[in-house]
Amino acid sequence: MILKTLALINYRKFLKETIEFPDGITGVVGLNGVGKSTIFEAVAWALYGSVAARTSADQIKRDTAKTSDPCKVILDFQYEDDAYRIIREMSGKNFTINATLRKNSELIATGAGIVNKYIQKKLGMDFKSFYTSIFAKQKELNALSTMNASERRPLILKMLGINSLDEIIREINTDKKTKQTIVNKLSQDLIDENGKNKIDILKKDLKDLKNNKNNILDLLDKTKAEINGYSKEIQEITKQYNIYKEKYEKLNNKIEILNEKKIISEKKKKLNEDIFSIKNKIQNRYKKIEINNNNLKDLTGLPKKIDLVNIKIKNVELSKLQLLKLIEEKKTIKNRIKEDKQKIIKKKEEIKKIGNKAKCPTCERILGEQYNILISKYGEEIFCNDKKIRDILNEITNEKQNLEKFSREKTALERKKDYIFNQMRLYDQINDKIKNNQEEIHIDELEINKIQKELDSVKDIKFDYNEYKSIKQSIKEYYSIYQDLLKNLENKKDDLTETKLIFQRKKGEYNLIKNDISNIIAKINELTNAKKRIFNENIKIRNLKMLYENMSSFRSHLIMRIRPILSSYAADFFSKLTDGKYQDIELDELYNIIIYDNGVPYNIKRFSGGEEDLANLCLRLSISEVITERAGGLFNFIILDEIFGSQDNIHQQNIIKALNVLSSKFKQIILITHVEEIKNHVENIILIKESENGISSIKIE
């Protein structure tokens, strides 16, 4: 497989870039975080889809791209002399992924899942194997160098995919344990809690049930005979029952005719009684009218009495208003006298403050004797005002007492008014009663006329009460016989029903026993099948045990074989990279690297740091070679990600020179590095830079 071109559209940090991959050693150079590894993640994403992405789908598309902008990777590569093109695209708000694959310009697969399956089948490996075979990272090389034996060996086996055998072996062991659990469960099901064989117990139960079944069959035959006997008795009783029922119905029809005559006779009698009753009611109503008219004589002249009381109430209210007005006037006079008093008190206080030697505020003469005259005058005026206020308060008190008297008088008048109103209501009620009685008399007279017309329409009939009574007695006797026969018939039917229920119950028991017999036979068959299954499962357990042992042996054999193969490939790489200085590398049982110098084995720690890095690189390349060969694929490129680590410039140059030797083995060797000096030592440069707006660009030098 050889990479040809890669186009990136809105993928991660790239807006729209295209790369043509040259043959030979190519350096992919740029600062950390600009997107160097993203280029080869895009290669893997194009081939294998989402499983190759290091983040979720919503983080693959460029941050500032629009929703309508596509996120697309186009990869052209050559494989087995055929040219392939994969277009993988992600679109829409839901980041829907689609893919197409062309071989020599012919469309051969459409749809993300279908393309993934085709690539995996064509290359002969899944993404994990592909990634391990073509990607070598510095941290892997460091791990191979710095890990202890207990960690290094599992790591190499995991990189080679041998750990998948461990999963298979674990699954086989799990299947074996699961089947053993089934066998144990089935074996327990064959034995009851007392340790007895369930099949033997069920066979004994089956025998007992069959005996019980035969007993119930005998009982069913006896019950059938009883049912037939009851059926014959019911037929005979039914015959007698029908005879007496017919006699009863004939007399009953005759009594119905007599009942009609009886009804007419009773109706006529009832109508006469109703007329007599209504006439009595009318007489009673006339008496009530007479009594009520006498009562009205005592209640005449009430409206005039009400008018007189209303005039008195109005006069009392007018007197109260006048008193209230007079009281308010006296209160106003009292308040005015109080104000005059306060003014005089204020003047008196002012004179006291200035004293008798002060000048008069009006004439500016010394007050002298005038001071005492003023003080005395003001005192008399204050005393006079106090007397006036007391007199007015006494007058107000008297007026209030008069007001109270008028209120009591008004209350008495209103009570009298209420009494007269009650008398008037009584007057109206008596009048209403008189009117109601008169109306009722009119209604009753109409009712008498109506009943009389109905009475006139009823025809005269002959009704023999003794005949009616005799037929009634006969009906009663026939009915008694008829009911006794009916009761006897019902009893026999109940006996028949009960016997049928017994029959059905026994038949149900019979069916249940049949079901129990079927269930026991089914259970015996189930347990017998369980015994057969135990036998078959034991065979499977033995086979799984053998398979487990064989797969474990195969794993051990594979691990034993893989170490010499890795040693052979690593030795070949190391010999080429050191110009034949070291002819052989070997991995010991703990996967420690042993380098032979002039035929003498030495631990890798004996050699220089550069030689140790080359040896670890050769081991990593041999792992890729083995994975590629196992997959049956042809991969002519390898990607080395930051393998220089902390190497100085000389060691970096030595590694580049050594990699040039591998150009016959790998047509494309791609170095991902942030070391700028590498540009001077490789034939091709892919330069990655990031602009201020966060968009990365690719330049091929």
Q: Which string of DSSP letters, residue by residue, matches 51-117?
A: GG-SS-GGGTB-TT--TTS-EEEEEEEEETTEEEEEEEEEETTTTEEEEEEEETTEEEEESHHHHHH
Q: Each residue of 635-645: b (16+ CB within 10 Å) or e?
A: bbbbbbbbbbe
Tell me, what's the pLDDT at 19? 94
> CATH number for the domain including 28?
3.40.50.300
Higher pLDDT, 471 or 81: 81
What pLDDT digit, counting tens, does each position of 603-627 carry?
878 887 777 777 777 877 777 777 6
Question: Within a domain: residue 183?
Answer: no
Question: Within a domain: residue 507?
Answer: no
Is a pLDDT exceeding 80 seen at residue 383? yes
Indicate the residue type of 343: K
Neighbours of 206 (CB within 10 A): 16
Of 432, 449, 466, the domain-final residue: 449
Of the chain, the percentage scoring pLDDT greater than 90 comes to: 11
Mean pLDDT value of segment 518-529: 84
Of 422, 449, 476, the domain-final residue: 449
Of 449, 484, 502, the domain-final residue: 449
Tell me, what's the pLDDT at 158? 67
Model-level pTM greater than 0.85?
Answer: no
Mean pLDDT value of segment 480-500: 81
Tell me, what's the pLDDT at 83? 94
What pLDDT digit, counting tens, does each position of 572-605 carry?
877 777 777 887 888 877 777 888 888 888 887 8
Mean pLDDT value of segment 47-72: 89
> CATH number for the domain including 353?
1.10.287.510
Most confident of the ranges 29-33, 112-116, 430-434, 553-557: 112-116
Q: What's the structural domain count of the chain?
A: 2
At 688, is the pLDDT very low, low, confident or very high (cuts 50, 70, 90)? very high
* Rounded CA separation 15/34 (Å): 13
Tell me, what's the pLDDT at 663? 67
Phi, psi of 675 (to 5 degrees): -80, 110
Tokens 């050889």 correspond to 2
Question: Within a domain: residue 458?
Answer: no
Mention every residue, 6+ apart, whose C-beta is less than 8 A from residue 354.
Answer: 361, 367
Neighbours of 600 (CB within 10 A): 7
Question: Within a domain: residue 43?
Answer: yes
What pLDDT digit, counting tens, does each position of 404-425 carry?
888 888 888 888 888 878 878 8
Mean pLDDT value of segment 447-467: 78
* Rounded CA separation 224/500 (Å): 8
Neighbours of 87 (CB within 10 A): 16
Of the chain, the percentage scoring pLDDT greater than 70 comes to: 89
What pLDDT digit, counting tens, does each position of 654-673 carry?
677 767 766 666 788 888 88
Tokens of 194: 């007392």
Higher pLDDT, 393 or 489: 393
What pLDDT digit, counting tens, does each position of 351-365 carry?
788 777 766 665 666
Is a pLDDT exceeding 90 seen at residue 107? yes
Tell me, what's the pLDDT at 165? 72
Higher pLDDT, 629 or 676: 676
Question: Within a domain: residue 430?
Answer: yes
Tell me, what's the pLDDT at 365? 67
Higher pLDDT, 83 or 480: 83
Tell me, what's the pLDDT at 538? 87
Is a pLDDT exceeding 80 seen at residue 695? yes
Question: Could you list the residue range(s) of the whole structural domain that residue 428 is in?
Answer: 299-449
What pLDDT digit, counting tens, does each position of 230-267 carry?
788 888 888 887 887 787 778 778 777 777 777 777 77
Most confident of the ranges 125-139, 148-162, 486-500, 610-624: 486-500
Question: Within a domain: residue 654?
Answer: yes
Mean pLDDT value of segment 95-99: 91
